[in-house]
Amino acid sequence: MSRRRADSQGSLGPDDEVMPYSDDETDDELDETSEEEADEPPGAPQPPGEIRPEIGWKVKANDRAYHQLPEFQKKVFLCIKKSRYSGNAIKTYKYNVITFLPLNLYEQFKRVANIYFLFLLILQVIPDISTLPWYTTLIPLVVVLGITAIKDLVDDLARHRMDKEINNRKCEVMLNGRFQEAKWMDIQVGDVVRMKKDEFTPADVLLLSSSNPNSLCYVETAELDGETNLKFKLGLRVTDEGLQEERQLAEFNALIQCEEPNNRLDKFVGAMTWNGEQYPLELDNMLLRGCKIRNTEYSHGLVIFAGADTKIMKNGGKTRFKRTNIDILMNYTVYIIFGLLILVSAGLAIGHAFWYKDIGAKAWYLYDGKSQTSDYRGFLSFWGYIIVLNTMVPISLYVSVEMIRLGQSKFINWDLQMYFSEKDTPAKARTTTLNEQLGQVEYIFSDKTGTLTQNIMQFKKCTIAGRSYGEPTSAEGVALDRGKQVDWSWNRWADKKFPFVDHFLVAHVRSKKDKDASEFFKLLSLCHTVMVDDKDGELMYQAASPDEGALVTAARNFGFVFLSRTQDTVTIREMDKEVTYGMLALLDFNSDRKRMSIILKFPDGRIRLYCKGADTVIYQRLSPNSNHKESTQTALDTFANETLRTLCLCYKDISTEEYEVWSRKHKEAQVALFNREEALDRVYEEIESNLMLIGATAIEDKLQDGVPETISKLAKAGIKIWVLTGDKKETAENIGFSCQLLDDDMQIHYGEDVNEKLGRRQAMRRTEPQTSRQSKKKHAEPFFSGSGRNALIITGGWLNEILYEKKKKRRRLRLRRLGKQRTPTGPQDGQPMDEWEKEMRQIDFVDMACECESVICCRVTPKQKANVVSLVKKYKKAVTLSIGDGANDVNMIKTADIGVGISGQEGMQAVMSSDYAFAQFRYLQRLLLVHGRWSYIRMCKFLRFFFFKNFAYTLVHFWYSFFNGYSSQVAYEDWFITLYNLLYSSLPVLLVGLLDQDVNDRLSLKFPKLYLPGQQGKLFNYEKFFISLFHGIFASLIIFFIPYGAFQQTMGQDGEAPSDYQSFAVVTASALIFIVNLQISLDTSFWTFVNCFAVLGSIAIYFGVMFDLHSAGIHVIFPSVFTFTGAASNALRQPYLWLIIILTVGITLLPVICIQFLHKTIWPSVADKIYRNRKKYEKELEEEEKKKQPPAFQRGRRSRRSGYAFSHSQGYGSLISTGQSIRRRPQGRGRPPATIKEHPRREAENT
C-alpha cells in the first residue's frame, strides 16, 4: 500500500517492503528512465555517455590465459602490473615471515611514547648529556617491544589459521578437460566448478546446471543474512540442456559480460554470449559466495567474481582501527605529562644556569676542567633532566595495559557461564584492545534473525470455529496447570519432536466428528508452496519460509499429511486415506496482498478456494454470513497480546460456471502486455471475496533463550537497544513485542510521522535568520511532548527519505551540474538546500530517535545499518556496540566501537569480522555487566595508581634538584631506577588490574545500575588524573623532605653520621617501596592469596635485590657499575633510619585512610552500599533461584494490534504453477516441448 510523502510534490512515499540501496546502487541504474526526466521535452539533447556505462567485466569460460591479457592488467606500483581479476584466496592477516619484524616495529613506533623512549636512549649515549646509564632505558624498552610483538604475533597466527582453514577448503574444478579436486585459494575467474550438496559456494558463480529439474538449485543463505529458510536459483534453459556432461562442460567457452564487482546483494546484470547467441543474466542465475547448497545433489557453475571481488567481501566494509575512550584519554594525559616534563626540565635548566653563574663557577672544588658557559651548561642540564624525569611517562605503562587486556580476554574465553554446550561453543574475545570499552556502552544495535530469534517457528495455538486451542488440556477438555507433551505414536508420519500440550484438540481431530477442525488442518496441508522429498520413507519439507514449514508440519502431526504435488495436483493423506486434489490455480503471496490462495477441484467434482492471510485483509473479504468473526477476533487479540504470529484461514465454494468465467479473465491477465501485475491483482481480488472464516493459527517465532530478560537488564543499565533488520515491518514489530522492546503503553511512531515532524522542524529552521541558524547547532525543544513513552519503527525507504539519501541522488546531482535542474531554493524541494541543512536533518533524526525508548529499523540494507550506527557515533559521541550473525551485519559490526558476532550458526562471516563472539544473545548481559564493568573498573584503578606511583617516585628528583645546584643528579641508585617499574612496584598493581572487583558477578547482574559510572566515564577522567598528580606530588614531598630533615643533624649508634648521599638514597627508596605497596593494598577491593603474595613479595624482592646489588662481591666483579657497596647494610642497621621510614610511610598514608573512611561512611557509592549489604543480597539471590520458575508471558491489558507477521517471499508459486520444480528432465536431454520458454523472472512468475 503506497503512502504520500510528507515533503514531496504529490509523489508516492517509499515502499515499506523494498530494501533501498541508497548509494550502493550500481551506475547502470542512473539511466535515461530516471523520473527526473519525465518532464523534459521528447527531443531534448542527451549529454554524451549518459545512456548507460559500458559493462567492463568480461569472463571467458575455461580460459585462464584470457584473463591475463594486457587489456585486463592494472598498475600496482610504478611499472608493476597485475591482473584486475582477484584470486580466490582471502587474506585477513597482517604479517608474514619477512614483514613481521619491520612492520611490527613500525606500528609500535607509531606510538609517541615508544619514539620518546628511543629518543631518550639516543640522548643517554651522548656523554655530555647522559645522567643515567643507557641500560636504564634500553632494558625496559626491549621488554616492552618484545612483549607487545609476541602478543601481536599470537593474534596474527590466529588470523593465519582462520584464513588457511577457509582457503584450503576443497572444491572440484574443471582442469585439463576433467574435474579435479582443488583448494578454494587456487580457483580463478572463468573456472567451471562442481558443488555438491551441503557444500559452500567458493565464489560468486553463474549457475549452469544442476541435478534438479530445469537446473533448479536450493541454497541456504545463513552466512549472508543469518536466515536458514531455503531460497532457489535457476540456471538458463540453454545451459541446463547443453551442460550436463563433463565433456560438455569442458568444451564450454561462453563469454560473460556483466557489471563491475559491487556490494549489491539484490542485483546482478549481465549477458552471456555462446555459440553466436546472447542470453540475459540476472541475480536468480547467480550463486553468491557463502551460500550453502541444499537439497541439490550437485550443481555446476562458472566463477564470475572471486576473492575480494565477491559481493560478500564487498559488503564487509572497511576494517577500522578501533581504540577505546580510555586509550584516547590515556594518550592525552601522556601529552600533558610531556608538557609538564618539558616545563619542569626547562625551569630546572634555567635554575642551573643561574646557579652555575652565581655559585658553581666561583667554587674551586666544583671545577670540572671544561670551559663551558653557564647558558650552555643550562642547555645540557635541560636534556639531562629530560632523561632523569623521563619516568613521569612510564615506559612500562603500555606493556602493563596490554598484559591486563590480555588477561581480561582470557577470562572472557574461560567463562563457563558464556559457554553454549549444545553446540560446544565457548565465548571468544577476538581482540585484546577493547575490554574496558565494554564497560562504557550506551547504544546496542542488534540484528533480528539469528541474533534475537532462532529463526525457528513453532505452531503454538489456534482458534477453530470460535474456540481457542493450545493451552494445557486433557483429552476430555479439562484445563491443566502443567502441560504434558502429546504422544504422536498413533501417527507414523508425525514429527515426534513437535511440541503440543492440548490433548483435547488432538482427540477432537482424531474423532472426525468436527468438520471445522478437519477443514482447518486440511487447508493447512493444501494451501502452501512447500515442496517435499521422500527419503527412505521420511518426508523432508522444503519451505519458502519457516512459517510455511511450521504450518504444514502441524497439519502433518494432526493427521493431514502433505505427500506430493505435481504441476496440477496436490496429494495428501487425510488420517488413513490418501486423496489427490486437482490444482486449478495458485494465487501466490506477495507483500501487498498479504495472503495466498489455492483453487482446488475435489475428487467429487466440487471446486473450493482456500485462503490464508493477515486478519486485516481477510476480514475485509469475509462474507456477511460468515460465523465466529467476533470470537475469532477476540482470540486474535489474545494471540497478538502473547506476541504470536497469526494468520486467518478461510474458504469459499465456487460453482463450475463461476470458475470458468474467472478462469478466462485470469488467462487474459496472464498474457497482458502492459500492467500485468495490476491486472492479475484485480482478477485475484474478484475471486477472493465472500469468504467463510474457519479460524486462525498462532505461531511463535522462537526467541533465543533469555532475550527479554537480557534486554530488560541492559535497559536498566541505561543501555538503549536498536534493532536493525532486513526483515519486514510486521515481523520486526512482532519481535519487538516478543522481546519486550515494545509494549502496549508505548506510542509507536512510523516513517510518515517522523518525516512530518522533521519537516516541521526543518521549516521552522528555514524561517530563522541566516546568521542565527548557523550558530545554533541543535534545537532545544524535544520532539515528543508529555511524559509518555515513545518508540520508533522506520523502514529503509523512509530512512533514505528522511536522511536525504534518495535513490536517484547521484542522477539529480549530475543533472544539476549539467544545468538541467536548478539548485533548490525553497522548502518545496525534497532535497537539502545545502550541506548544513542535511547535517541538521541528520542531527534532528538522531535526537528524535534517542528520545525514544526503542528504535526498530526494518528493510534496511547492510550499508544503511552501518550509516545508522555511524550517525549515533558522530552526533552522540557515545560508545556503540553492534551484534549480528550474518554477512549483512559485517559492515555494522565493523562500524561500531565494539562488534559482536553470534557464533555457532551456519554463517561465520560476522564472527570473523567481530571483536567478540559467543553463541547466544543472552550472554551479552554478562559480557557487558560483568566482564565489561570489571574491566573498566580495573583499568581505571590501575591507571590512577600507576600515575600516582610514578609521580611519587619521579618528583623526588625534582625536590632533590633544589639542593644539588640543579645539576641533574639523581636521588636514587641507578639500578633502583632501572628495576622500580619492572620488579619492585609492578606486580601488585598488575594484579589489581587483572583480579580486582567491587562486587561479585551475581550482584553485578542483580544491580544493573552499577554499570552507569562507566557510561559517564566517572572512574578515570581529567579530574581523576590531576587528583593522581597532586597525590603523587604530596607523596614525593613527604618522601623527600622528612628524610632530608631527619638527616640534617644525625648521629648513629656507632657514633658515625649516616647522613651521606647513598644512605639517603636507600632510605627514600625504601620508604617509597613501602608507600606504593601499602597504597595499592588500601585500593584493593578483592583480596586473594595472589594479591597478598604480590604485595609482600614485591617488598621482599626489593630488599633481597638491593642487598645483593650493594654487596662487596658484585662490586669486585663490576666496580664501575655497582657503586653503592655496603650502603644498604650500613644504613638499615640504624634503628633511627627505620623510624624515619615508618614516619614517612605513616604521614603519607594517614590522609588517604581518612579520606577513604569518610567517603565510604558519609558519601558511599552504589557499589559501596551493595558491598556493605552483600550477604543479605546474596541470600536473596539464593531464595530467588529456589523459587524461580519460567513465567508465562502476560501483558497488563489486551492489545488491538494485528498479530500478522509472515516471512514468506514471493516467487515459489511460479515454480509450482509452471512446473519448473516438478517436471522431470527428458531422458535424452533433447529439445524440450515448445511450451517451455525462457522467461525473465518477473514474467515467469505469472506464466
Question: How far apart, in whole angstroms, are the C-alpha atoms of residue 575 and residue 570?
Answer: 16
Question: How far apart, in whole angstroms, are the C-alpha atoms of residue 168 and residue 634?
Answer: 58
Instruction: Provide Rg for the chain, Cα atoms.
Output: 38
Order of strands, sheet of 747-749, starting from the edge strand that comes earlier in the sequence? 428-429, 916-918, 898-902, 880-884, 443-446, 720-724, 854-858, 790-795, 747-749
For 1177, the grid coordinates are 543480597
For CA atoms 750, 751, 752, 757, the dihedral sign is positive
The DSSP result for 472-509, as a single string, is: SB-TTS-B-SS------TT-TTS-TT----BHHHHHHH
Closest CA to 210 of 302, 301, 305, 303: 301
Q: List Cβ neighbours of 463 (8 Å cut-off, separation of 6 or more).
A: 469, 631, 632, 635, 636, 639, 695, 696, 698
For residue 1131, the Cα-to-chain-centroid distance in whole angstroms is: 61
Closest CA to 237 of 256, 271, 214, 205: 214
Compute CA distances 933 → 110, 417, 585, 1156, whole Å: 30, 16, 60, 22
Contact 695, 516 (CB under 8 A): yes
DSSP letter at 691 equals B
SS3 342: helix
For 202, the grid coordinates are 567458493
SS3 266: coil
Question: How far apart, in whole angstroms, are the C-alpha atoms of residue 680 and residue 612?
Answer: 18
> Does an H or E element contain 302, and which?
strand 298-305
Question: How far apart, in whole angstroms, are the C-alpha atoms of residue 740 and residue 731?
Answer: 14
For 1117, the grid coordinates are 666483579
The DSSP result for 881-908, as a single string, is: EEEESSGGGHHHHHHSSEEEEE-SSS--
Q: List Cβ neighbours of 217 (8 Å cut-off, separation of 6 or more).
A: 207, 210, 232, 233, 234, 235, 287, 293, 296, 299
What does the buried/exposed string (b/e) look like for 476-500 if buried means 16 or more CB atoms within 10 Å of the residue's CB? eeeeeeebeebebeebebbeeebeb
- Which amino acid does the sequence have at 1122? F
For 701, the grid coordinates are 517465532
How open is the CA angle 891-150-912, to the nearest 5 degrees? 20
Question: How far apart, in whole angstroms, are the C-alpha atoms of residue 907 and residue 227?
Answer: 9
Contact 85, 203 (CB under 8 A): no
From 15, 415, 447, 588, active-site residue: 447
Q: Is 447 a catalytic residue?
A: yes
Dihedral of the alpha carbons of 960, 964, 967, 971, in degrees to the nearest 10: -40
Give backbone dihedrals phi and psi of 425, rounded to 5 degrees, phi first.
-120, 110
Question: How far apart, in whole angstroms, are the C-alpha atoms of residue 189 and residue 1106?
Answer: 68
How open is the CA angle 392-394-395, to the nearest 5 degrees? 145
Residue 180's DSSP bridge partners are 173
Tell how strand 692-703 and strand 453-464 pair up.
Answer: antiparallel
Closest CA to 806 of 763, 778, 838: 838
Closest CA to 531 of 496, 499, 571: 571
Catalytic residues: 447
